[in-house]
Structure 1
Amino acid sequence: MSIATLGIDLGKTTIHVVGLDDRGQPVERKKLTRTGLFRFLANLAPCRVAMEACAGSHHVARKAEAMGHRAVILPGQFVLGYTKGQKNDDADATAIAEAATRPTMPEVTIKDGTQQAIQLLHRSRQGWIKQRTEVANRIRAMLLEFGITVPNRIGNLRKALPGILADAENELPDGVRDLLAEHWRQLQTLDDQVVTVTSKLEQLARQDARAARLLTVPGIGPIIATAFVAAVGDGSQFGKGRDCSAWLGLVPQQYTTGGKPRLLGISKRGNRYLRTLLIHGARTVLRHADKQDDALRRWIRPLDGRTHMNKAAVALANKLTRVAWAVLTRGEAFRAEAAAA
């Protein structure tokens, strides 16, 4: 009997697959290696190939589509409800296959190689910035043990530390001075890595047509533009701009029961990193809204005056997300008149 839906439980070395027929009955169960999986897919008649969103799922989905299958990536939290009995790889593959047969099951858009490459650059940059903060805090803590304080902000630490290391009268033990010098070299290395990856993202923002269009939107620079492209792609998976904002968690959370609607704070669902970047970009636009006069700025000024700055920034980030989606899907540059409509 032919396989209509194939559920794949991806692992690092071993992969379990379960095939369902048109009636949803299991007709195939296999344990494969990664090479064996691609060989199995190449010999399989075109069908729906489903897997959970995880490391490597986009790569497998692209390979499956190249072989003529319809690849589907499912959010893991929605697959969990289809798991029955004990937790094991075969049961997980069965749950994935059964979840994929539901017509209302949400799907994760498959990323292309370029999107994943950009995303890895952002994750590396984010990790190096975090490490840099940790090293800076460690340096401050060591200096404080010997009564030496440095003003807040990492720039102040960069300026003060060479002088502290060179000062022979600050009573720092030689072992501590050597340790601080090693941390200072590590901090400089992390600075160089962040600068290098940032310049690569800026170059990608100019080269990629989608990111270049996003650069025309106020509050969106190379970092936000490339992060948006890595997460959203061309935006075709969303029917309207509000869907994109809801996916990013920038719309109010709804709690309706008994026919009584209740709207709470923003849902904070989806990509936290991109949502944070968009809110910071909106803060910049708010801060300089009085320096330009166009339709979007005239829309912003009353908003900034009647509510708290943080709420205004989130509302503007919601607006800019919808504008960015329109710029991507329509293939045109930003127009202030259309954005303020």
Structure 2
Amino acid sequence: MEHGITVPAGPAHLKKQIPSLLEDAANLLSARMRALLVELRDEWKKLEEQIEGIDQELAQTATKEDNCRRLLTIPGIGPLTATALSAAIGNGTAFHQSRDLAAWLGLVPRQHSTGGKSRLLGISKRGNPYLRKLFIHGGRAVVARVNRGNHQFGSWLTRLEARSPRNVVVVAMANKLARIAWAVLTTGHVYSAAACT
């Protein structure tokens, strides 16, 4: 901005404008600044290639392992979540019921009881924060993308959205995904939309 050069916010805009910034001899960028931009652009490109390679490796790993293949049949669960959950809990038999897994992930409401009255608060956020974040992102994807008319989640999501804020709906969906994942892992069956309620 000191030299009158502005780029809209976001990596896509910057990636698009770097070549024209480097080629424009009329702008007031010094030779050192141009060299630094070239170095940063090359480093950025290398990081993107490394990320793409790791993503492909995770996808291959997920398709080779039986637990991960079954988890991938659940909407909102991709290779990253499938491999992380499988590595963390194996076949899920350490948990006696699906609610135990959801509680371990911190996707259940906290309770506060006083004077014989019990109040439900926000989620407990106990357990594995990385897996919780992955499930919440998966829940957000399902809420945003699932075809409400053709999927078992559709009517449940619509009813829940009518009475709850968006983030509550997302966390409820993440909780449901965790419970389905537990069922898929412990039974050894693939996910079936018809079996979900």
Alignment TM-score, normalising by the size of structure 1: 0.55
Provide the rounded CA distance (Å) in 2 between the counterparts of 1:212 and 1:318.
20
Q: Which has the higher contact order (CA 8 A, sep 6+)?
A: 2
- 2:107 is matched with 250
Structure 2: which 5+ runs fail to align?
A: none
1:256 aligns to what SS in structure 2? strand
- 1:197 is matched with 54
**Is 223-232 or 323-332 further displaced after alignment?**
223-232
Larger Rg: 1
How many residues are aligned here?
Answer: 197
- 1:153 is matched with 10
2:110 aligns to what SS in structure 1? strand
Structure 1: which 5+ runs fail to align?
A: 1-143
RMSD, matched Cα: 1.6
- 1:183 is matched with 40
Provide the rounded CA distance (Å) in 2 between the counterparts of 1:254 and 1:171.
61
Residue 304 of structure 1 contacts residue 312 of structure 1 at CA under 8 Å; is this kept in 2? yes
After TM superposition, give the deviation of residue 266 of structure 1 in Å. 0.5
Equivalent position amino acid for 2:106 in 1 = G
After TM superposition, give the deviation of residue 148 of structure 1 in Å. 2.4
- 1:13 is matched with none
After TM superposition, give the deviation of residue 260 of structure 1 in Å. 3.0
2:155 aligns to what SS in structure 1? helix
Cα deviations across residues 61-88 of structure 1 (Å, max 9, x unaligned)? xxxxxxxxxxxxxxxxxxxxxxxxxxxx
Equivalent position amino acid for 1:280 in 2 = H
Provide the rounded CA distance (Å) in 2 between the counterparts of 1:273 and 1:288.
23
Equivalent position amino acid for 2:161 in 1 = D
1:265 aligns to what SS in structure 2? strand
Q: What are the residue-to-residue correspondences of 1:33-44 with 2, within 5 Å?
A: none
Residue 296 of structure 1 contacts residue 337 of structure 1 at CA under 8 Å; is this kept in 2? no
Percent sequence identity over aligned pairs = 47
Provide the rounded CA distance (Å) in 2 between the counterparts of 1:261 and 1:211.
38
- Bigger proportion of residues as helix: 2
Q: What are the residue-to-residue correspondences of 1:1-341 with 2, within 5 Å?
A: 144-290=1-147, 292-340=149-197
Residue 148 of structure 2 contacts residue 154 of structure 2 at CA under 8 Å; is this kept in 1? no
After TM superposition, give the deviation of residue 299 of structure 1 in Å. 1.9
Structure 1 pair 158–262 and aligned structure 2 pair: CA distance change class (3 A): same
Equivalent position amino acid for 2:62 in 1 = A
Cα deviations across residues 2-22 of structure 1 (Å, max 9, x unaligned)? xxxxxxxxxxxxxxxxxxxxx
Provide the rounded CA distance (Å) in 1 between the counterparts of 2:119 and 2:162.
25
After TM superposition, give the deviation of residue 153 of structure 1 in Å. 2.5
Structure 1 pair 282–170 and aligned structure 2 pair: CA distance change class (3 A): same
After TM superposition, give the deviation of residue 193 of structure 1 in Å. 0.8
After TM superposition, give the deviation of residue 294 of structure 1 in Å. 2.9
1:281 aligns to what SS in structure 2? helix
Provide the rounded CA distance (Å) in 2 between the counterparts of 1:187 and 1:249.
35
Alignment TM-score, normalising by the size of structure 2: 0.92
Provide the rounded CA distance (Å) in 2 between the counterparts of 1:173 and 1:301.
57
Equivalent position amino acid for 1:180 in 2 = L
